[in-house]
Structure 1
Amino acid sequence: MAAEAEVLDELHRLRARVPQLTGALAASADGLVLAHDTPGVEPDGLAALTAAALGVAIRMAESTGHGDLRELLVRGVHGYVATYAAGGSAVLTLLAQDRVNVGRLHLEGRRSGTRIGELVDAATARGEPAAEPARTSTKAPLRTRTPRGTTPRSPSTPATNHPRTSES
Structure 2
Amino acid sequence: MAVEAEVLNELQRLRTRVPQLRGALAAGADGLVLARDLPDVEAEALAALTAAALGVGRRMADLAARGEFRELLVRGADGYVATYAAGHSAVLTLLADDRVNVGRLHLEGRRSGTRIAELMAATSTPDGPPRLPGGTTAPTAQGRPLGSLPLRIPPQSRYGS
Query: What TM-score, normalized by structure 1, do the two folds share?
Result: 0.75
- Residue 124 of structure 1 deviates from its aligned partner by 2.1
Would you identify which runs of 4 or more consecutive aligned residues in structure 1 move more than 4 Å?
Answer: none
Distance 2:124 2:32 in 1: 14
Residue 35 of structure 2 is matched in structure 1 by 35
- Residue 106 of structure 1 deviates from its aligned partner by 0.2
Identity of aligned residues (%): 71
Match status 1:54 vs 2:54: yes
Alignment of 1:11-160 (within 5 A): 11-125=11-125, 129-131=131-133
- Residue 30 of structure 1 deviates from its aligned partner by 1.1
- Conservation of the 8 A alpha-carbon contact between 1:28 and 1:131: no
Structure 1 stretch displaced more, 118-127 or 68-77: 118-127
Task: Give the length in aligned residue pairs.
Answer: 133
RMSD: 1.8
Distance 1:93 1:131 in 2: 18
Matched position secondary structure for 2:124: helix
- Rg larger in structure: 1
Distance 1:92 1:38 in 2: 12
Distance 2:29 2:131 in 1: 13
1 or 2, which has the higher helix percentage?
2
1 or 2 for the larger relative contact order (CA 8 Å, sep ≥6)? 1
- Conservation of the 8 A alpha-carbon contact between 1:32 and 1:132: no
Gap runs ≥5 in structure 2: 136-161
Match status 1:10 vs 2:26: no
- Residue 67 of structure 1 deviates from its aligned partner by 1.0
- Conservation of the 8 A alpha-carbon contact between 1:33 and 1:132: no
One-letter amino acid of the structure 2 residue matched with residue 68 of structure 1? E
Distance 1:110 1:39 in 2: 22
Distance 1:73 1:28 in 2: 19
One-letter amino acid of the structure 2 residue matched with residue 129 of structure 1? R
- Residue 118 of structure 1 deviates from its aligned partner by 0.2
Please list the CA deviations of residues 63-115 of structure 1 after superposition, one character each: whole Å capped at 9, or x if unmatched. 01001100010000000000101122101000000000000000000000000
